[in-house]
Chains A and B, each alone.
Chain A
Amino acid sequence: MKDKTVHKKRSHFITKDDIAGYLFVLPFLIGFVFLLAKPMLESIVYSFSEVLFGEGGMTVNPVGLENYSYALFSDADFFKKLISSVIEILWNIPVIMFFSMFMAILLNGEFVGRLFFRMLLFLPVIFAVPAFLENIEAAGMGGRMAEGRDSVAATSDTLQLLLTDLVNNFGLPSELVSKLQEYVSNIFDICWKSGIQIILFIIGLQAIPSYLYEVCELEGATKWETFWKITFPLLSPTILLCLIYTIIDLFNSPSNQVITIITANMGQRIHYACAQTWLYSLAVFAFVLIVYRLVAKRAIYLD
């Protein structure tokens, strides 16, 4: 992580600035150590043992790596869902990022009704209760519900036909097209998952000093050039933020397949659910770390 905000040379002594820094993060450290770390460590212990509930309360018998080896090698369902959800998320991240940045740039311009559309696109954030959507999906009971869904489906069907045409006429690789078709049918989900990112991008866009754009106009740069030379680089801290947010949000949403399995297992086989979660969390953490390293290096902070 290269920070350009702090130019101080590192020394072996703890300086006054260091102490101030520690004081600022102290509340979090207390919270992390006392409220989170302890339960987390205990759950790691559980993951290496067998937890049984008897009349005398809870007994914890160590069993070594059994839970982990079972999750990785014997439980076909878990591993399959883990892989499929990772793949799905990997495909969704760029789409959500692109969509939200695009929408933010649109909504950042001056036009009539901007306020209205900004509000509209924030609505999914308010309703982002998965249950809210699931209910609609689950209640495919009435004729009317089905009809309403059909009208959304019909729109995407037309698009799908168009895409199939594209394959036939232009010889695009069919794998790419099937992925595109999936996106089209998922457009609803993508809209509903991008609300916060759009807001973050708008704030990021607004933070770019306007004089830079004035200079660009004076120099005769096209909009395209201005975007790549000014907007995109200066948006990089926001891109990093949105990227990490999107990853965590997708991996941790209660409707995620793996999270559903874990929650279900929590009821009876806590030790196994703990092992699953730690495997999962480690994978997500590694992924976030890689993305962070890759993007943070390139992030530009106006200093």
Chain B
Amino acid sequence: MELECMRNRKNMDGLVLKRAAGKTGTLFFKVFRLLLLAGVGYLVIYPLITYLSIALSEPNDLYEELTGWMPQDPTFLNFKGLFGYFKYWDHLWITVSIAGVSTLLTLITCPLVGYGLARYRFKGNNIVFAMVILSIIVPIQTAQIPMYLDYQEFDFFGIGRLIGLFTGKPLTANLLNSYWVYYIPALFGVGLRSGLYIFLFRQYFMGMPRDLEDAGKVDGCSKFGVYLRIFVPNVKPVFVTEFLLSMIYYWNDTTYSRMFITLPDRQPLALYVETMDLFLNMMKDSIEAMEARTQLFAARLLVVLPLMILFIVCQKFFIESMDRSGIKG
């Protein structure tokens, strides 16, 4: 008993000494941390400020050597000019529905598949996992033309063709320029970067203790019940992260959209603005192009602005949930 007391005492003394020595070290660390974060923050925020500054300038201002960070007299001229021909709200609504619906669909499928891969050691598990990785490695452009043809005569996984055998007329639908080209792959785990989210969920499900599973079984949950009631609530931050990432990818995507959405009126924001950019590059040096160039900066800001708002709305939940993630001892 006494010995234990002595030992405790010794430990305590050690702690006090260590703290005293650490004090200057901590201060140094704090300053270092602040400087580093500020530096990195500057690098991150710099392009954004540049964008804002150009979007608020008159075209002539760009060539003014004397202008500093911000134009001397900021104008909304670019935005006004832009809204003359750019149906922002229509395209915004299209983008919101594409990104929103697809993301919700990936939120249903990806955790399910990730869970199956992480928690069930069925035959061919490795092969399925390799397929998941393959689906994100092969650039989507490779399959561009076959996919285009497939969606032009989409036969609902062969069912349409099968019906055709009996009726003589295959049941197909032309999905080009419709948003089903986003929703169907998203539902079946092969949407934009879906494989990545499957991998993400797999990793976090794998790290969870086996006791959880047993606890569910004792309580009489079915296999799906164990997943839904026990595992899903425990990876909430992963869900929030996936939601944000998927929203952002669908929002900013142009590669995939360009393949299937050819009607300008039906294009999502990012693609529409990129088409504007390409168009501008063609007419390079004309005066109109100069004017449109600054408008383009305004347009690009408008594309990402809703995402920023979304992030600011989500961030409280996002960052809080990050703090509460995992199973604490």
Instruction: Show the binding face of A for B, using Cβ within 8 Å.
Output: 1, 3, 5-6, 8, 10, 14, 17-25, 27-32, 34-36, 38-40, 42-43, 46, 58, 103, 106, 109, 111, 113, 115, 117-129, 131-133, 135-136, 139, 141-145, 147-148, 152, 187-188, 191-192, 196, 199-200, 202-203, 206-212, 220, 237-238, 240-241, 244-245, 248, 251-252, 254, 259, 262-263, 266, 270, 273-274, 277-278, 280-281, 284-285, 288-289, 292, 301-303
How far is it, in angstroms, between the C-alpha of A259 and the C-alpha of B139 when the chains are bound?
8
Asked if B304 contacts A191 (CB within 8 A), the reply is no
Q: Does B131 contact A (CB under 8 A)?
A: yes
| Consensus secondary structure, chain B interface | helix
Q: Which 6 A-B pairs have the closest CB atoms?
A: A24-B116, A31-B188, A21-B120, A207-B326, A211-B329, A39-B143
Given contacts A35-B185, A117-B37, contact A266 B141 (CB under 8 A): yes
Is A36 touching B190 in the complex (CB atoms < 8 A)? yes
A sample of 20 inter-chain contacts (CB < 8 A) reads A10-B121, A21-B121, A28-B188, A30-B157, A31-B189, A38-B150, A42-B145, A120-B37, A120-B40, A121-B40, A127-B47, A128-B248, A129-B254, A139-B297, A202-B322, A207-B327, A209-B328, A240-B203, A241-B199, A277-B139
What band does the interface of chain B fall in when counting residues whose beta carbon is under 8 Å from A? 35 or more
B128: contacting residue among A28, A103, A202, A238, CB under 8 A:
A28
Report which B residues bind A (CB closer than 8 A): 11, 14-15, 30, 33, 36-37, 40-41, 43-48, 50-51, 53-54, 61-65, 67-69, 109, 112-113, 115-123, 125-126, 128-139, 141-147, 150, 157-158, 184-185, 187-190, 194, 196, 198-200, 203-204, 206-207, 209-210, 223, 227, 237-238, 241, 244-245, 248, 252, 254-255, 270, 274, 277, 293, 296-297, 300, 304, 307-308, 311-312, 315, 319, 322-329
Known contacts: A42-B146, A120-B44, A210-B328. The answer to whether A145 contacts B308 by CB under 8 A is: no
Chain A residue nearest in CB terms to B69? A148
Beyond A129-B300, A141-B62, A281-B137, 9 additional contacts (C-beta under 8 Å) are A25-B128, A28-B131, A31-B185, A119-B311, A132-B304, A207-B204, A209-B329, A301-B206, A301-B207
B185 / chain A contacts, CB cutoff of 8 Å: 31, 35
Alpha-carbon distance between A167 and B163 when the two chains are bound, in angstroms: 74
B150 in contact with A145 (CB, 8 Å): no
B64–A143 CB distance below 8 A: yes
